[in-house]
Amino acid sequence: MKYFVNDEHWDIESYYKNLESLSKRLGTSYQLLKDISFHDYRLAKIEVKEIKNLEIEINLYLCNPYESTNYAIVWKNVKKFSFQYNYLKYRYANVDDYVVDDGYGTVLEDEITVYDEIYLQHELLFTSRMKLYLMGENIEIRQI
């Protein structure tokens, strides 16, 4: 992450300048990203679809736990993605028990930045310490 490094380092002003520089590439999703933040949204579902041979689409479904606002983030022509999740990281020290979590957790930080002239990248970090990384050609965000 470049703009949301951790809870102590959030460069929101520079991130919004970054989004503005990507406005043409983001298309209709730009206005949504400018107006809302996915911080504190819960990841409800992840879908990985192979549309045709090596043409990958990934759908992320996020819900706001405080109001009934849900979004689908659709990444098309994905060339790289990874999920890193390890439940064992939540083990209490010196006790044979685990911290109670809310599944994948809620989004702590997420940012969309340029990868190169063709691809954008999206990084998300969750309360469960899961990390989600996507690199794709197109993003479409819609309220559901």
Q: Would 84 be classed as within a structural domain?
A: yes
The whole model's pTM is what?
A: 0.85
Task: State which residues form the domain around 89.
Answer: 12-143
Q: Would 30 be classed as within a structural domain?
A: yes
Q: Would 2 be classed as within a structural domain?
A: no
Could you give the number of structural domains in the chain?
1
Q: List average pLDDT for each run of 10 residues in the chain, which is 144 residues long.
A: 79 92 95 91 94 95 91 97 79 59 76 97 88 96 94
How far does Cα 38 stand from its chain's mean position? 8
Q: Would 100 be classed as within a structural domain?
A: yes
Alpha-carbon distance of 123 to 144, in angstroms, equals 22
Q: Would 49 be classed as within a structural domain?
A: yes
What pLDDT is recorded for position 1? 82
Q: Would 6 be classed as within a structural domain?
A: no
Q: Would 3 be classed as within a structural domain?
A: no
What pLDDT is recorded for position 11? 86
What pLDDT is recorded for position 91? 59
b/e 79-105 (16+ beta carbons within 10 angstroms → b): eebeeeeeeeeeeeeeeeeeeeeeebb
Q: Would 4 be classed as within a structural domain?
A: no
Q: Which residues contact 69 (CB under 8 A, 6 or more apart)?
A: 63, 143
